[in-house]
């Protein structure tokens, strides 16, 4: 796909049902053109992960995803040795009387005994087009893990003591996401372009629902979005993101709802609110007024 301008990219994203502001399209365009990692921050459910998925589908590239969590280390992100195969190889060498211990060690620490994890897969990709590497929810990982990424994101290479330094023939396009539950280290940020994805405006969220939930009537889409926008003004423990808006719209469509009603909303609050205290707060206080505002 030929993407020569920011407008081309914005249009291509829209054709793949991703509604992007021009500023976000600009950040993505620069990440592609400059081969710089793009760090996307924002509340959960605002569409950060979807950027990488949409880019992969749009550009016809493989998506390699690394889901971050506490305790990530080299063996789960870069590589580990296949110890079972190595043991079998050692026994095979012993059975045939191979006496050269140095040669045996060289053989069992070769690439064929390496289990490649997502970061190494991205560096060693032999695809015609470089992959999209999604490092998702970086803030969930330990700060030490960020140190693993510095060499990768600055030089597109990974060092393995037994094999040496492996360099990417074509650097992957890297999208990092963070829900900002903690600050990402400055050293990592310096290697990335940065963009904050906020909750969408009313008009933008309507466009997103129209693109993602085509089965929803125009009236239902309008009222769902208006309700969620009002809901985000409340003092809730966890505000609903765009993902929750889409889940809720799909749930209402599945129930053949054509418009919001107290019964339909009350029955499906679990699609947009994930904490019982938030659900109780809405049910006992603001439900009626929220529906009135959404259905005006």
Q: Classify burial at 70, counting beta carbons within 10 Å of its beta carbon; exposed 0-12, middle 13-18, buried 19 or more.
A: exposed
Q: Say what angle helices 83-95 and 101-108 make with each other, to 10 degrees.
A: 150
Determine the pLDDT at residue 102. Answer: 66
Largest separation between any pair of C-alpha atoms in the chain = 85
Q: Which of 10-19, 21-30, 163-172, 245-254 has the lowest mean pLDDT?
A: 163-172
143/172: higher pLDDT: 172
Output the average pLDDT for the chain. 91
The count of residues in the chain is 296
Local confidence band at 259 (pLDDT 50, 70, 90 cut-offs): very high
pLDDT digits (tens, 9 = 90+) for 199-249: 999 999 999 999 999 999 999 999 999 999 999 999 999 999 999 999 999
Q: Which of 108-117, 183-192, 199-208 has the lowest mean pLDDT?
A: 108-117
3-state secondary structure of 219: helix
Determine the pLDDT at residue 110. Answer: 82
Nearest Cα residue to 133 out of 150, 121, 141, 143: 121
Asked if 176 and 52 count as a contact pair (C-beta separation under 8 A), the reply is no
Asked if 119 and 147 count as a contact pair (C-beta separation under 8 A), the reply is no
Task: Indicate whether 124 pLDDT > 70.
Answer: yes
Determine the pLDDT at residue 162. Answer: 81
| Number of neighbours of residue 135 by Cβ within 10 angstroms | 27
Nearest Cα residue to 138 out of 193, 172, 188: 188
pLDDT digits (tens, 9 = 90+) for 42-89: 999 999 999 999 999 999 999 999 999 998 888 889 889 988 888 888
In this prediction, what percent of the chain has a pLDDT beyond 90? 71
pLDDT digits (tens, 9 = 90+) for 240-254: 999 999 999 999 999
Q: What pTM did the predictor assign?
A: 0.87
111/130: higher pLDDT: 130
């Amino acid at each position: 796909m030929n993407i020569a301008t920011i407008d081309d990219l914005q249009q291509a994203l829209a054709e793949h049902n991703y509604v992007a502001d021009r500023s976000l399209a600009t950040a993505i365009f620069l990440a592609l053109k400059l081969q710089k990692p793009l760090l996307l921050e924002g509340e959960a459910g605002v569409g950060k992960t979807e950027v990488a998925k949409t880019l992969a589908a749009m550009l016809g590239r493989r998506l390699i995803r690394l889901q971050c969590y506490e305790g990530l280390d080299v063996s789960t992100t870069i590589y580990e040795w296949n110890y079972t195969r190595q043991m079998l190889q050692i026994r095979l060498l012993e059975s045939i009387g191979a006496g050269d211990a140095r040669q045996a060690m060289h053989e069992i620490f070769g690439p064929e005994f390496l289990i490649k994890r997502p970061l190494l897969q991205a560096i060693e990709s032999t695809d015609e087009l470089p992959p999209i590497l999604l490092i998702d929810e970086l803030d969930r990982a330990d700060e030490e893990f960020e140190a693993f990424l510095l060499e990768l994101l600055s030089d597109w290479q990974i060092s393995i003591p037994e094999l040496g330094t492996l360099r990417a023939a074509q650097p992957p396009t890297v999208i990092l996401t963070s829900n900002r539950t903690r600050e990402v280290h400055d050293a990592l940020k310096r290697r990335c372009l940065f963009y904050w994805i906020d909750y969408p405006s009313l008009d933008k969220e309507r466009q997103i629902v129209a693109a993602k939930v085509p089965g929803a009537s125009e009236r239902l889409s309008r009222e769902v979005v208006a309700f969620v926008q009002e809901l985000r003004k409340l003092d809730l423990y966890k505000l609903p993101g765009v993902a929750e808006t889409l889940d809720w719209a799909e749930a209402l469509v599945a129930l053949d709802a054509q418009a919001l009603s107290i019964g339909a909303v009350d029955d499906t609050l679990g699609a947009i609110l994930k904490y019982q205290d938030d659900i109780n707060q809405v049910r006992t206080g603001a439900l009626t007024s929220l529906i009135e505002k959404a259905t005006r």
